[in-house]
Amino acid sequence: MASRYEDLTKEELIRLLEARERRTRFGLVWEANEIERDKALNGDFVALDLDPTLSCGNAPWRNLIIEGDNFDALRALKMTFAGQVKCIYIDPPYNTGNRDFIYNDRFVDKEDSWRHSKWCEFMFQRLMLARELLTQDGAIVVSIDDNEVFSLGLLMNRVFGEGAFVANCIWQKRYSRENREAIGDAHDYLLFYSPHPDLFKVRRGMIPMTEKQEKIYKNPNNDPRGRWRTVSLTAQGYRPNQMYEIVGPGGKRHLPPEGSCWKVIESEYKRLLEAGLLYFGKDGNAVPSRLRYFDEVEGVVPWTWWPHEEVGHTDEARKEIQEIFGTQTAFTTPKPVRLMERVLQICCGPNDLILDFFGGSGTTAHAALKLNAADGGRRRFILVSSTEATVDEPEKNLCRDVCAERLRRIIKGYKNRDDESISGLGGDFAYLRTRRIPASQLLEIDHSQVWTVLQLAHGETLIPYEDASFLWNGNEEEAVCYVPRFRREDAPALREAVKRSAAVAMYSWQPQFVRQQIRDSRVSHLAIPETLARRFGLQQGGRA
């Protein structure tokens, strides 16, 4: 029988082959073109409006809470924080079908035949933006349950690459039995990915020892170096330079057991012996082992099993909300603070930047503030939260009334439901709202919006805009300066100001004119709004 390809011309065959080349052969496929378009997807420029009345603490602020759709927020953050975030944690809607996922202002329910494709497209668009924000050794951690775990794994492979997979951790979210299903559901997953897992591995944090692990360290011989334990000196396998004979202090001779070798080469063994770091039992004749002192242990290497005794459970998380707001109904799907502390202990150091763009009730920031208070760290957070307003509840504002309010209470202190005073952990945040500006109207952007973007883009803390001839934020090494309306008589004050810093990025609407007046090798002159458009990725003609 003749094949249908025999009738095709060479050009038609080439086109066919090219179309096949483009098709996904292995991985996740969803109906992106068939579903109703996500109206959050747009090509507008995104500005951030600072609301000092909802911000917490005094300016300059270090942390940010952004109210708005995270598609917009992520594009604004790409303009200012690309390649700077060490740890992204997200806890997106799980798409349970039980009114937990809003798409185009409506809850997606079990009857929606496109519900998996809507979720995949929604997540894909946001993960693609999130990818741009991570440092090379950063990590993104995503909470999920059985509803979408399989789609999410493939989606993450598609966005970050299969080689970016680090681990799939199991969080035991329940402590009591669940008898409704054939097999009770007791856990969620946390998928860890990193642009470079080898770089991440070098810097990832250890986790604190549990009480049980700590109890293994004892000091029966009153060793002045303190509590200790022994760890085996043998490893499986055969390495010729790790097969030497060891003679113990009691005279007994030891060779590695069959199928094993010593963990260290002979010169290292001698160093350990001299340093008194080997143990041969009470009589000096036992198989040698290595002494490990409690004080020298930084913690334990994390593993994929996260039991509720160590990181809390959903009940604990609800009680934490109740403790702060006096009612559990303030937010119904929080994560426990201890779970978030664990994520942060693994993924970020004491000076790193953390982003959660499904911020919900703000648990990630709560954990960051708690860790800072405990170890004196300076972790910074950016949280994005939606208002959760829908057609049925247009006035709802989860970001303002729950997320920001929770963090305000945590920072300043509050009275719990038993009327006890809980001290504040300290910290601050600036409260911002996303505002879309059609690309063709970028010339009408507010000075306050320009000033906010410029400070964030230069890694500065945030100071509110005030009506002045120029605005300044920085230190002796570098500074950002914004000149909203340049007048010749402002030149002397500006010339004086630039002496404060070794490098000044000076933004204005007439850079040529300002340059004529401020000729100084320390100053780079940059144009508004062109620089903003370029950083945002707006093409000429106004489209993103």
Ligand X SMILES: C[S@@+](CC[C@H](N)C(=O)[O-])C[C@H]1O[C@@H](n2cnc3c(N)ncnc32)[C@H](O)[C@@H]1O
Span interacting with ligand X, options 131-139, 224-232, 333-341, 514-522, rule CB under 6 A: 333-341
Span interacting with ligand X, options 212-220, 305-313, 356-364, 489-497, rule CB under 6 A: 356-364
Structure tokens at 148: 């979408």
Shortest Å, Cβ 324 to ligand X: 12
Beta bridge partners of 526: 507
Shortest Å, Cβ 291 to ligand X: 42
Question: Residue 384, interface with ligand X (CB under 6 A)?
Answer: yes
Span interacting with ligand X, options 256-264, 268-276, 330-338, 486-494, rule CB under 6 A: 330-338
Question: Residue 312, interface with ligand X (CB under 6 A)?
Answer: no
Residue nearest to ligand X (CB): 360
Question: Residue 386, interface with ligand X (CB under 6 A)?
Answer: yes
* Closer CB to ligand X, 65 or 526, in the complex: 65
Shortest Å, Cβ 151 to ligand X: 17
| Per-position DSSP letters for 492-527, written without gaps between them | HHHHHHGGG-SEEEEEES-HHHHHHH---TTEEEEE
* Closer CB to ligand X, 431 or 486, in the complex: 431
Question: Residue 333, interface with ligand X (CB under 6 A)?
Answer: yes
When binding is defined by CB under 6 A, the residue of 160, 189, 279, 358 that contacts ligand X is 358
Q: State the Cα–Cα distance between residues 250 and 246, nearest whole angstrom.
A: 11
Shortest Å, Cβ 386 to ligand X: 4
Question: Residue 360, interface with ligand X (CB under 6 A)?
Answer: yes
Span interacting with ligand X, options 4-12, 212-220, 381-389, 513-521, rule CB under 6 A: 381-389
Q: Are 149 and 189 in contact (CB under 8 A)?
A: yes
Question: Residue 361, interface with ligand X (CB under 6 A)?
Answer: yes
Is residue 98 packed enough to be buried (19+ CB in 10 Å), middle (13-18) or exposed (0-12)?
exposed
Shortest Å, Cβ 205 to ligand X: 20
Q: State the Cα–Cα distance between residues 109 and 102, nearest whole angstrom.
A: 9
Question: Residue 76, interface with ligand X (CB under 6 A)?
Answer: no
Shortest Å, Cβ 61 to ligand X: 21
Q: Which long-range contacts (CB under 8 A, 24 or more apart) does 181-190 make?
A: 185/145, 185/146, 188/143, 188/144, 188/145, 189/143, 189/144, 189/145, 189/149, 190/141, 190/142, 190/143, 190/144, 190/306, 190/343
Q: State the Cα–Cα distance between residues 104 and 100, nearest whole angstrom.
A: 13
* Closer CB to ligand X, 98 or 213, in the complex: 98
Q: State the Cα–Cα distance between residues 115 and 158, nearest whole angstrom.
A: 20
Question: Residue 137, interface with ligand X (CB under 6 A)?
Answer: no
From the list 237, 299, 290, 253, the residue with the least C-alpha distance to 268 is: 290
Span interacting with ligand X, options 203-211, 212-220, 345-353, 379-387, rule CB under 6 A: 379-387
For the beta carbon of residue 296, count every other beta carbon within 10 angstroms. 11
Q: Are 543 and 521 in contact (CB under 8 A)?
A: no
Three-state SS sequence of 273-315: HHCCCEECCCCCCCCCEEEEEHHHCCCECCCCEECHHHHCCHH
Q: Are 119 and 109 in contact (CB under 8 A)?
A: no
Question: Residue 363, interface with ligand X (CB under 6 A)?
Answer: yes
* Closer CB to ligand X, 345 or 361, in the complex: 361
Question: Residue 388, interface with ligand X (CB under 6 A)?
Answer: yes
Is residue 337 packed enough to be buried (19+ CB in 10 Å), middle (13-18) or exposed (0-12)?
buried
Span interacting with ligand X, options 206-214, 215-223, 289-297, 353-361, rule CB under 6 A: 353-361
Q: For residues 78-107, which are near ligand X according to CB under 6 A?
A: 91, 93
Span interacting with ligand X, options 22-30, 42-50, 113-121, 383-391, rule CB under 6 A: 383-391
Q: State the Cα–Cα distance between residues 45 and 405, nearest whole angstrom.
A: 29
For the beta carbon of residue 23, count every other beta carbon within 10 angstroms. 7
When binding is defined by CB under 6 A, the residue of 138, 153, 334, 484 that contacts ligand X is 334
* Closer CB to ligand X, 193 or 228, in the complex: 193
Q: State the Cα–Cα distance between residues 134 and 529, nearest whole angstrom.
A: 26
Shortest Å, Cβ 385 to ligand X: 6
Binding string, 392-431, against ligand X, x = CB under 6 A?
------x---------------------------------
Q: How far is CA 85 from each of CA 153, 372, 429, rounded to the nearest angstrom?
A: 22, 17, 17
Question: Residue 314, interface with ligand X (CB under 6 A)?
Answer: no
From the list 456, 202, 475, the residue with the least C-alpha distance to 353 is: 456
Question: Residue 173, interface with ligand X (CB under 6 A)?
Answer: no
Give me the residues that bind ligand X (CB under 6 A), please.
69-70, 91, 93, 331, 333-335, 358, 360-361, 363, 384-386, 388, 398
